[in-house]
Structure 1
């Protein structure tokens, strides 16, 4: 078994210059030109391993961003206009998600052959055809087509999507026309490259106190999956859209994460574009925005912990030159000492009467962002109201943010009492060049209440655009159709539209070196804006997605 799938090894993300020095002592898997995965033999779990090792080497953990709309974003007028004739032909869309139900009619050509060019299933060993993929198995178009003619397709290509999220998003973006079901994806003639992600290992979950039954994925596997799609597109010399329907509330929310930075860099490469979901954290009460004026001693954050959330993490981020101490009080009144920041920090505090434990990492300089991070990790957390007292130790006003985990990592019964719905865009949505998509209800043009809101913590304008995201029709795991709601579905819809833009520009010769950043700006220019609102808008970005409006903006 490859070390990337072996639970006996801890996966850490390191930069390649460090990997070069360590390659003789550890197993190393190269991700891309900047990062590698270091596989270290797992010892007995020590929660203060994070503290002895810096925060940023532990892969951020991502969760899913979703739970028909062609007219709402100007697609149907374009596809019914013979002067455009845009269906995504010649363009690739890459999905890094839960896999794909490759037998579904939504991914077949009229002759029954597959529109999926390749599947890299990170979870299956010893089944693929290429020696240059680091782990898992790859199945190319020939193998998929052969499987489709077999009475037992899974005997030849055993890759499946047990969850349905990846299948749904791929269908929303690029599903084939099915007139009997009144269904068609936004770009029904694109071809697909699919990465089925391996879920986070037990150790990586434990470090951030994520329950074993939660569906989640490490940043390292996502990054290496994106690199795979990029290589396939380069080999075939095809324009490509990368669709990321995953999100995380870890990190500073300033675009410093490895994944966000990498996607931003890809978005300036000609014929490469990136579409990401903004997240569904707008109504979850998982963000706290704090201000401590210099005459105040501290701010008290009240955190309600639900009965089922016995273990979880929470992050507090303070920008320079601010400096914060922290103290924690349990629901029954037990308290920690005041914990000041250090360069490397990990303190374990056991609350005797509640039998709860909190690990406190108060790190004065988090290496990836340069900002102060207070990481709190709860074990066997007592339900009720916890109080986190944050002390300003400088003579200047302190502005800080706190976030709880995103998606289904915790239940909706754990939240801040005095929460703030803004600055809830999940990573990698806090970007400059990728297209960050929020979701609205295309039936009444109202914003979905769960959609995450901007801006980023450093003021970067996100989201970029709002797209239809309410009950979008797409393929399910039973060869039929269901629906999806949320920013993941909206991002998939937008990814299909971006494929049409690449087709018009690259394959039809109007702008053959167009980049993802260019597409970002074109979509912004063509967006529908309400005269009663100010733009850019923290909820709507630059307005509602409108492909026809984009073409009008070029005239």
Structure 2
């Protein structure tokens, strides 16, 4: 498909801004909504509105806009199958579960479709690919980008130059690693197998986040980040593929963000909750790698003092560009905040400009701080203060926070995740609790943390739970340290990788095995994503000296074989 020169695709065009809207809650009554180039329906609740940049006022947060401006997500990755009981089921004389008849979806950086983990000669195990990053307008099932079918992928594999037919490249390799871990072919000579080697794959390569969002959130230019609305449309696409092919679907999301109140109620999290509650769909999500990042500050909820001093060390790398930070205070408390620079200069944050942006300019350092103070954020009811530090001076910054009712709640502050801010910027008195990244905080998704399967120790950088509504997160742990998986490196076919995204990928493959047993073989005809989560939680391995569930391990270590032992 060739795109005619001059045709504008708002979803991809940098001159358009994207907004997530709840179109069926329109104050003016019902309308017969249809998708077009400027409005794209995601499901029966959410749609994406594309507005020309010149028609949008300067971007800022207020009580009504926080959920509508897309958040940005990045990668959660920095002999495992036997530890989770998978190989014993591959080779079990009666069960022989390998994922046949199921579909695994990976929404990420794309895939190296020529890798032996995804092909048998000139035949691909990939059902279809949607590349959001390639030029292209509305066509068939996709609102933008290009779609490649299995017929086209097989044609490419048989061609002398495959990229002329299917010009998809996974430059990062993250998506390739997740796809191989979840559903790569069994390759005995490499001692490798995906968790569900006979499952088929559907792949979405996310397009990079638009420049206006990267600039608004002050992300580094080299960081790879993706938009919330693109991820939502990707989920809608893979759901459609599964329905059309009448296959149970296991989705893997190895991305995360520290944006939001960490209570699982953003648009993407809500979409995940609704998806997992339907029959034949499950979603496995990385818990995040923020446990030791020192990116979270937690005030003491049971203290009586009215003031709290938050000390933030800002590194040299942030001084050239800046960074953003979110403060979330519990209701019904009220917060007064004063910011102190490394030179001791203090400026107060206004609590009156709830619909505007306050600019704090310091005299003795060349730093500006843009602040949006929202006393009651519409979706959560919490106090949200969004900070953007522009060219911050390196050193120790302080937030002097006064609470009117300190015994009736507390507050959280989150910095961006690893990869979006340097390791030299952190809270001096940080907390590893409540560091599960979004959308891992979604109630009904399967949130997976990582452990070292060789000695059963928790991955040291793994995010810790629960979410801020005390919903158990993570749900359980899967191997995610030193995992053998597919490589895109020159001369290498496989490599070791680490991160909670790998643990989520293995769980996505395990979910496919459960779907094969329950749906393909007719043992449980109404199996849902919640069924998968509950089966795996019940069969998880738990140590006698640890109380479960807990914020580190959830309900324990995934062991699919033990799950089947309990069934019998």
TM category, shorter = over 0.9
Q: Within the alignment, does 1:488 sit opposite 2:498 as a pair?
A: no
* Kept after mapping to 2: 8 A contact 1:392/1:398: no
Aligned positions of 1:48-127 closer than 5 A: 49-51=60-62, 54-109=65-120, 111-126=121-136
Counterpart of 1:533 (choices 546, 549, 567) is 546
* Offset from partner CA, 1:71-123 (integer Å, 9 cap, x none): 110111111112111110110001110000001010013x4300000000001
Q: State the alpha-carbon separation in 1 of the partners of residues 64 and 333 from structure 2.
A: 24
Structure 1, 149-158 or 308-317: larger mean CA deviation: 308-317
Q: State the alpha-carbon separation in 1 of the partners of residues 91 and 302 from structure 2.
A: 59
Structure 1 residues 271, 21: CA separation in 2 closer, same or farther (over 3 Å shift)?
closer
Structure 1 residues 295, 68: CA separation in 2 closer, same or farther (over 3 Å shift)?
closer
2:365 matched residue in structure 1: 354
2:17 matched residue in structure 1: 10
TM-score by length of structure 2 reads 0.93
Aligned positions of 1:111-260 closer than 5 A: 111-126=121-136, 130-260=139-269
Aligned positions of 1:148-547 closer than 5 A: 148-291=157-300, 295-310=304-319, 311-340=322-351, 343-394=354-405, 396-477=407-488, 478=490, 480-547=493-560
* Offset from partner CA, 1:2-44 (integer Å, 9 cap, x none): 1111111111211114786999999222222222222222249
* Kept after mapping to 1: 8 A contact 2:250/2:283: yes
* Kept after mapping to 2: 8 A contact 1:187/1:497: yes
* Kept after mapping to 1: 8 A contact 2:465/2:472: yes
State the SS of the aligned residue for 1:195: strand
Q: State the alpha-carbon separation in 2 of the partners of residues 518 and 353 from structure 1.
A: 59
* Offset from partner CA, 1:257-277 (integer Å, 9 cap, x none): 111111111111011111000
State the SS of the aligned residue for 2:67: helix
Q: State the alpha-carbon separation in 2 of the partners of residues 472 and 402 from structure 1.
A: 33
Q: State the alpha-carbon separation in 1 of the partners of residues 470 and 352 from structure 2.
A: 26
* Kept after mapping to 2: 8 A contact 1:302/1:385: yes
Q: CA deviation at 1:399?
A: 1.1
* Kept after mapping to 2: 8 A contact 1:324/1:390: yes
State the SS of the aligned residue for 1:199: coil
State the SS of the aligned residue for 1:299: strand
Q: State the alpha-carbon separation in 2 of the partners of residues 167 and 469 from structure 1.
A: 15
Q: State the alpha-carbon separation in 1 of the partners of residues 381 and 136 from structure 2.
A: 42
2:3 matched residue in structure 1: none
State the SS of the aligned residue for 2:271: helix
Structure 1 residues 353, 228: CA separation in 2 closer, same or farther (over 3 Å shift)?
same
Q: CA deviation at 1:441?
A: 0.4
* Kept after mapping to 2: 8 A contact 1:525/1:550: yes
Return 5+ residue gaps in structure 1 as ranges: none
* Offset from partner CA, 1:277-328 (integer Å, 9 cap, x none): 0000000011111036685331111011111123111111112111112111
State the SS of the aligned residue for 1:317: strand
Return 5+ residue gaps in structure 2 as ranges: 1-7
The size of the alignment, in residue pairs, is 553
Aligned positions of 1:28-39 closer than 5 A: 28-39=39-50
Q: CA deviation at 1:177?
A: 1.4
